[in-house]
Amino acid sequence: MDNGTHYRTCHLCEAMCGVAIEVKDGHIASIKGDDNDPLSKGHICPKAVALQDLHEDPERLRQPMRKTASGWQKIGWDEAFDLVARRLHQTRKEYGRNSIGVYLGNPNVHNHGSLVATMPFLRAIGSQNRFSATSNDQLPHMLASLEMFGHQILFPIPDIDNTDLFICIGANPMASNGSLMTVPDVRGRLKALKQRGGKLVVIDPRRTETAKLADEFHFIRPGNDALLLMAMVNTLFEENLVDPGPAERLVKDLELLQLAAVPYTPEAVSGHTGIEAETIRDLARQLASTRKAALYSRMGTSTQAFGGLATWLAYCLNILTGKLDTVGGVLFTQPAIDLVALGAMSGQNGHFDKRRSRVRDLPEFAGEYPASTMADEILTPGDGQIRAFVTVAGNPVLSSPNGRRLEQAFEKLDFMVSVDYYLNETTRHADVILPPTAALERSHYDLIFSMFAVRNYAKYSEALFEPREDAKHDWQILLELAHRLEQQRKGGRLPLRSELGWRAFKQIGPDPILDLLLRSGPYGADTGPARKLLQPAVDLVMDILPERHPLRGLARLSPVNRQWNALPKGLSLSALRDNPHGVDLGPLQPSLPDRLFTRDGLIHLAPRRYLRDLGRLHKHLVSEPDDQLCLIGRRHVRSNNSWMHNSRRLVKGKDRCTLMLHPDDAERLGLAGGESAEVQGAGEAIVLPVEITPDIMPGVASMPHGWGHDRQGTGLSVASAHAGASINDVLEDNQIDQLSGTSVLNGQSVTVRVWRSGKQRHSA
Ligand SMILES: Nc1nc2c(c(=O)[nH]1)N[C@H]1C(S)=C(S)[C@@H](COP(=O)(O)OP(=O)(O)OC[C@H]3O[C@@H](n4cnc5c(=O)[nH]c(N)nc54)[C@H](O)[C@@H]3O)O[C@H]1N2
Ligand SMILES: Nc1nc2c(c(=O)[nH]1)N[C@H]1C(S)=C(S)[C@@H](COP(=O)(O)OP(=O)(O)OC[C@H]3O[C@@H](n4cnc5c(=O)[nH]c(N)nc54)[C@H](O)[C@@H]3O)O[C@H]1N2
Ligand code: SF4
Ligand SMILES: [Mo]
């Protein structure tokens, strides 16, 4: 890279901030916010500097590694690919295709090359035993989108820049910078909301950094959001406040929802939620009476015992009060590369519960089983038992519940391979590690988070540094493995056509595919006269074809679709290269009914599976509220899941892996601030320092996830020196939201006691 300033998207979290990276003599001299980025306008968070730390980290692996009796050994790529393909194929041949397990971690969705290569890779593996971070995260949102709108990644995004009331439940965007809402500089945007007279309401078991900006804040007892939201639905019907507005003619099963809400009066849920009945009514009234309002829920409401119901009800509330498809409410985006429409075109709207996992009979979602059952599938003997495992950009030992059990499971495998550039808590169990290039050595286009942004926006970044000659991108690794696995399956040789196909794919890579998708997308290069000619035909097609016809999908997608006539045109890869700060494609726009993908073209307010799960919620409603201490998670702006603790600049300062306790609980337990507490779930106990604060609800303890770097045999010296403890060593993997299969990461009961230093502490 020549000296000068390079503009780029920060890929670390969902906010997609534009960064300006200054390079001098082949090194990064500074990383600043890009003032000319139309979405982030110069905003960055403290993590942006970690782009440099990650790039320069001497402990980042740069060559394939093989575990031997005498330790890790560097090997060449060809040898590594051969070994991995051979071992995986052997397992498959001996025990069947489902004997290979695959786990895909979060950074995959920040990497367009991986996204393009994942599908052929998974096909080549051919196993149904797939897992990902989704079931520890946003699965309930995907399920609600699938059930209600007909497509698993069609999310209603809060129009935060235009709203007058933002109700934020179970999310802390001030720390996380937003999720399923790409919102760089959320502080600035919330400040602007207040300046125009708007209001921020936060509902959380902890008075979070976001809550501290709120005009109104309510503690909620963890795991009870479905009750709160049901009582808000109940109030809307009781007080005749239901008015779906733009969605009026499109909603189906309104009466079923009304009926379902009957038992959940504000009085009935008040004990469990810890929120007064009148406050609940007032929340419902405010939402109904503010024309531009958005109710937003995230991690805290999705990864809990009633995550499926809570997320569904959050969507329902926006619809019942006319916020869906309203400027200032929640809207569907229109991204330049429209994976929603592309998916629908090929019949890939998503699916749920098409098959069930072998050991615990849990439903698949989008072809994946819940991460909480990974260890069961490895440890339980029988037909279909997982014997070899692949992780790609994931650290499930720290990120999935009961990480200790998962570690035991990984040790039982015949073979394990990790595509990852760190020797960490997960990859230390692998036999082979295949490290990809670092992010600054590859180009970047945010295929996923462009779809969730609070403004339509497109940006492409060139690689900043030339990769080393022997380095491989994630997509190259995945395609090479896929190719070799296919060859093995066919006895060593592929038919000429498919051999050529694989070679071509490996030659081309993801960027020409981006170009094709950009050009043929809604903002694609203007087809000029051809468009005039084609337009009548396309209009006809749209009018006469049945909703689900593939041709209709094609027409919907093409830049000549009349629905998109008003959109700016001309996007292509070269157009994006000419605009290195990114291209603003305008504010979110109403898009109903065109953007619905349900078979009947309607919004399903009361899908059966939610109604069926209400039995469980009702049982909870009529149970006695318990007073056990329960554990929840939190995020900090200087940390990102489990894998950025090797950056000295990010981990410096005071210990952030602390157990927050309310003063009343601390007193009851005899714990003073700074003292070590032992936290015990059903399995392991962990030890961490206590932080006493009135900002946490009595009866609730909070600690961050992604720590616990004291395991032996990793190659992360900075992280190990700031080890912390892993919340997922305490959380059980048998607690899931029974509707969706999502892990319960918030609200599990724990016992906390003073830790006496004489006692044996778990050693890795
Ligand atoms: N208790 C609790 N558990 C949680 C959560 C919680 O809130 N509470 N949050 C959950 C959520 S939302 C998520 S998304 C998951 C995340 O869970 P995971 O995705 O399993 O874990 P990460 O910590 O993101 O680890 C990412 C891994 O990818 C590697 N990596 C980073 N960049 C690249 C790359 O470009 N290519 C490759 N090949 N590898 C790369 C890193 O070295 C690291 O090993 O954790 C979940 N777990
Ligand atoms: N700095 C930083 N940014 C990140 C990440 C990170 O690790 N660090 N991770 C990224 C990822 S992968 C994701 S998915 C997003 C997540 O982004 P967010 O969804 O904003 O995640 P959190 O900050 O964990 O906020 C969850 C909130 O839910 C609250 N909560 C816990 N239990 C309950 C409950 O039962 N009810 C209610 N109402 N609230 C509850 C917690 O106290 C917490 O404030 O963040 C992304 N951004
Ligand atoms: S908020 Fe921070 S980590 Fe997230 S994209 Fe922006 S600079 Fe990167
Ligand atoms: Mo996540």
The runs of H, that is alpha helices, within 290-424 are 299-302, 307-320, 339-345, 374-379, 396-399, 403-412
Give dist(CA 622, CA 617) in Å, integer.
9
Give dist(CA 579, CA 67) in Å, integer.
45
* pLDDT for 560: 61
pLDDT tops 60 at residue 293:
yes
Which residues have a Cβ under 8 Å from the Cβ of 749 and sit 6 or more positions away? Answer: 626, 628, 629, 630, 631, 681
Question: Looking at the CA of 630, which ligand is closest?
Answer: 2
Measured from the Cβ of residue 481, the count of other Cβ atoms closer than 10 Å reads 25
Rounded to the nearest angstrom, the distance between the alpha carbon of 397 and the centre of ligand 1 is 10
Rounded to the nearest angstrom, the distance between the alpha carbon of 704 and the centre of ligand 2 is 9
Same domain, 176 and 313: yes
The verdict on the CB of residue 12 being under 6 Å from ligand 3 is yes
pLDDT-derived band at 538 (thresholds 50, 70, 90) equals: low
Residue that the structure tokens 């109104």 belong to = 216
Residue 516 within any structural domain of the chain: no
Residue 278 within any structural domain of the chain: yes
Same domain, 550 and 446: no
Same domain, 399 and 544: no
pLDDT tops 60 at residue 762:
no
pLDDT-derived band at 129 (thresholds 50, 70, 90) equals: very high
Of 404, 429, 461, the residue that ends a domain is 461
* pLDDT (average), residues 437-465: 97
What percentage of the chain exceeds 70 in pLDDT? 94
Give dist(CA 480, CA 434) in Å, integer.
12
Same domain, 52 and 71: no
Residue 656 within any structural domain of the chain: yes
Q: Which of 32, 43, 44, 182 to mutate to test the pocket of ligand 3 (most atoms within 8 A of CB)?
A: 44
pLDDT tops 90 at residue 211:
yes
Measuring CA to CA, how many Å separate 581 from each of 20, 257, 448, 604? 9, 46, 18, 39
Measured from the Cβ of residue 439, the count of other Cβ atoms closer than 10 Å reads 23
Give dist(CA 531, CA 520) in Å, integer.
12
* pLDDT (average), residues 109-136: 97
Window from 47-51, 519-523, 691-695 with minimum mean pLDDT = 519-523
* pLDDT (average), residues 46-50: 96
pLDDT tens digits for 704-748?
999 999 999 999 999 999 999 999 999 999 999 999 999 999 999
Which residue from 130, 212, 107, 105 is spatially nearest to 168, judged by alpha carbons? 212
Same domain, 229 and 283: yes
Q: For helices 225-238 and 277-289, what crossing angle results, to 10°?
A: 60
Residues 252/257/259/262 CA torsion (nearest 10 deg): -160
pLDDT tops 70 at residue 155:
yes
Residue with the larger pLDDT of the pair 669 and 682: 669
Which residue from 721, 584, 706 is spatially nearest to 652, judged by alpha carbons? 721
pLDDT-derived band at 566 (thresholds 50, 70, 90) equals: confident
Same domain, 321 and 176: yes
Question: Looking at the CA of 132, which ligand is closest?
Answer: 1
Give dist(CA 451, CA 517) in Å, integer.
14
Give the number of domains in the chain.
5
- DSSP-assigned letters across all residues of 418-466: EE-SS--TTGGG-SEEE----GGGS-EE-TTGGGGBSEEEE-EE--SSP
Strands 388-392 and 415-419: parallel
Q: What tokens were used for 437? A: 């290039």
Give dist(CA 6, CA 21) in Å, integer.
5
Q: What tokens were used for 661? A: 């306790």
Residue nearest to atom 40 of ligand 2 (CA): 300
* pLDDT for 533: 64
* pLDDT (average), residues 34-45: 98
Give dist(CA 245, CA 242) in Å, integer.
9
Residue 90 within any structural domain of the chain: yes
* pLDDT (average), residues 535-560: 61
Residue 503 within any structural domain of the chain: yes
pLDDT tens digits for 453-494?
999 999 999 999 999 999 999 999 999 999 999 999 999 899
pLDDT-derived band at 345 (thresholds 50, 70, 90) equals: confident
The verdict on the CB of residue 50 being under 6 Å from ligand 3 is no
Residue with the larger pLDDT of the pair 525 and 126: 126
Q: What is the CATH number of the domain that holds 190?
A: 3.40.228.10
Give dist(CA 338, CA 519) in Å, integer.
11
* pLDDT for 633: 98
Residue 291 within any structural domain of the chain: yes
Identify each DSSP E strand in 425-572 by its residue range.
432-434, 444-445, 455-458, 460-461
Same domain, 40 and 120: no
* pLDDT for 763: 40
Which residue from 274, 240, 271 is spatially nearest to 258, judged by alpha carbons? 240
Question: Looking at the CA of 106, which ligand is closest?
Answer: 1
* pLDDT (average), residues 583-606: 95
Rounded to the nearest angstrom, the distance between the alpha carbon of 419 and the centre of ligand 1 is 13
* pLDDT for 261: 98
Same domain, 656 and 694: yes
Residue 83 within any structural domain of the chain: yes
Which residues have a Cβ under 8 Å from the Cβ of 80 and sit 6 or more positions away? Answer: 64, 66, 432, 434
* pLDDT (average), residues 417-440: 98
* pLDDT for 764: 40
* pLDDT (average), residues 532-542: 63
Same domain, 188 and 279: yes
The runs of H, that is alpha helices, within 670-715 are none
Residue nearest to atom 15 of ligand 2 (CA): 179
Question: Looking at the CA of 10, which ligand is closest?
Answer: 3
pLDDT tops 80 at residue 540:
no
Of 404, 432, 461, the residue that ends a domain is 461
3-state secondary structure of 690: strand
Mean confidence (pLDDT) of the chain: 94
Same domain, 704 and 610: no
Q: Which atom of ligand 2 is nearest to the CA of 203?
A: 38
Rounded to the nearest angstrom, the distance between the alpha carbon of 36 and the centre of ligand 3 is 16
Window from 101-110, 491-500, 721-730 with minimum mean pLDDT = 491-500
Residue that the structure tokens 């720590």 belong to = 707
Contact at 8 Å (CB) between 272 and 205?
no
Show the domain range for 55: 4-60+442-461
Give dist(CA 313, CA 364) in Å, integer.
22
Question: Looking at the CA of 449, which ligand is closest?
Answer: 3
Q: pTM of the entire structure? A: 0.96
Give dist(CA 703, CA 630) in Å, integer.
11
Q: What tokens were used for 682? A: 């059903």
Residue nearest to atom 39 of ligand 2 (CA): 170
Rounded to the nearest angstrom, the distance between the alpha carbon of 114 and the centre of ligand 1 is 15
pLDDT-derived band at 250 (thresholds 50, 70, 90) equals: very high
Query: For the chain, what is the largest distance between any 2 Cα atoms, rounded to a whole number of angstroms?
Result: 83
Contact at 8 Å (CB) between 475 and 114?
yes
Q: What is the CATH number of the domain that holds 726?
A: 2.40.40.20
Same domain, 165 and 314: yes
Rounded to the nearest angstrom, the distance between the alpha carbon of 504 and the centre of ligand 3 is 35
Rounded to the nearest angstrom, the distance between the alpha carbon of 545 and the centre of ligand 4 is 38
Same domain, 117 and 210: no
Q: What is the CATH number of the domain that holds 98?
A: 3.40.50.740
Identify each DSSP E strand in 617-737 by its residue range.
630-634, 659-661, 676-680, 685-692, 700-704
Which residues have a Cβ under 8 Å from the Cβ of 107 and sit 6 or more positions away? Answer: 114, 393, 643
pLDDT tops 60 at residue 759:
no
List residues bridging with 631 in a β-sheet.
Answer: 701, 748
Residue 630 within any structural domain of the chain: no
With a Cβ cut-off of 6 Å, ligand 1 is lined by: 105-107, 111, 133, 136-137, 299, 392-396, 399, 419-422, 424, 436, 439, 474, 633, 641-643, 705-706, 727-728, 731, 745
With a Cβ cut-off of 6 Å, ligand 2 is lined by: 13-14, 106, 137, 169-173, 175-177, 179, 203-206, 208, 220, 222-223, 225, 298-301, 304, 632-637, 639-641, 746-747
